[in-house]
Amino acid sequence: MYSPEDKQIPIAKFFTLRQQLDLDQDNFIAMSDFIAPAETGITDYIGAFAVSAGFKQDDLCKKYVEDGDEYNNIMVKTLTDRLAEAFAEYLHVKVR
C-alpha cells in the first residue's frame, strides 16, 4: 500500500502465503500474484472479509463433550464450519 500523497512511498505491506502443497506443478501462486505491480502505474485494490457462524460454538461444544455427547459436538463444529464457508462464498459473489 502506498501513500495517497506520494505513490512512491510504501506505507503498509500485506503478506500472503504461497500455495504449500506440491501437486506436481511448476507455479505456487499467492494472492499477491493477482495485484497489479506498482511499476504498471495501475491503481489496484485488495479486499478482505471475515465470516463466522460459530459464535459461542466453543461453549456449546464444551457442554456436549462434558455430557459425553461426541456426535453433537462434531455436528456443531461441522455445521458452523459449513455455514461460514457458504456465507463466505455468498458474500464473494455479492462483492464481485
The pTM of this model reads 0.58
Q: Where are the domains of the chain?
A: 1-47, 49-95
CA diameter of the chain: 61
**Residue 19 contacts residue 55 (beta carbons within 8 Å):** no
CA–CA distance, 83 with 27 (Å, rounded to integer): 31
The residues of the chain scoring below 50 in pLDDT are none
43/4 Cα distance (integer angstroms): 11
Three-state secondary structure call for residue 95: helix
Q: What is the pLDDT of residue 34?
A: 86
